[in-house]
A = this chain, B = another copy of it.
Amino acid sequence: MAGYVSDAVIRRLPGYYRHLRELEAAGVVQISSQELGKRMQLTPSQIRQDINCFGGFGRQGYGYQVSNLKEHIGEILGLTQQHKVIIVGLGNIGSAVAMYPTFSREGFVTVAAFDVDANKIGQRLGSIPVFDMSELENFLDDSKVDIAVLAVPAAVAQSTLDRLYKGGVRAVWNFAPTDMAHPDDMIVVNVHLSDSLQILSYKMAHRDDA
């Protein structure tokens, strides 16, 4: 991929990937920017701009090859690499993420989970072994971990993040409902569930403004 890609385009990439995967599964071989735009609620020229931006695929008038474009976007998203994942905090959200079926298909392999609950430690969640939180440092010493899913209570989120950083983890997918400080060489992507529910609430309260 050549050159600068804006944040807005990056945010749209997973949507492209999802729609192209659905189209591929439905047996669609080729799609025009008009059709793809309609599906994704983007203008055809926006679609063409985006796709040009990540590599100049497609030829105007012929449309895009669905499988090729999907593969290409998957590569840009890093989905062709395998990522070793640990889940830190096996409450409801952590457990749900651990069991989420599509992640392993996309190369995210969960190798271990950590919790403080004696009833969970030593058990398995599906095929995932559950360790005591106190074993986190030892585990990270022995194993390279690409991504930690952080699903601990907000009150211990920052200290847990710091432990992950010291253990060498440089990418965190955070579900704790708080924003944390982190060094520049650590990537943190937050999923604040309350935020999106509040956006829904906002839209309901202001439904008649428009």
Contact = CB atoms under 8 A, between A and B. Distances in A.
A207 interface: yes
A117 to B, nearest CB: 15
Interface in A37-95: 39-40, 76-79, 81, 83, 91-93, 95
A202 B102 contact: no
A200 B194 contact: no
Interface residues of A, number: 56
Contacts of A179: 15, 18-19, 39-40
A100 B92 contact: yes
B18 A194 contact: yes
Interface stretch (A28-36, A132-140, A184-192): A184-192
A79 B14 contact: no
Contact of A102 (B22, B81, B194, B204): B194
A17 B198 contact: yes
A200 B178 contact: no
Contacts of A202: 10, 13, 76-78
B197 A173 contact: yes
Contacts of A194: 14, 18, 102-103, 106
A171 interface: yes
A163 interface: no
A96 interface: yes
Interface of A: 10-11, 13-15, 17-19, 22, 39-40, 76-79, 81, 83, 91-93, 95-97, 99-100, 102-103, 106, 108, 146-147, 170-171, 173, 177-179, 187, 189, 191-207
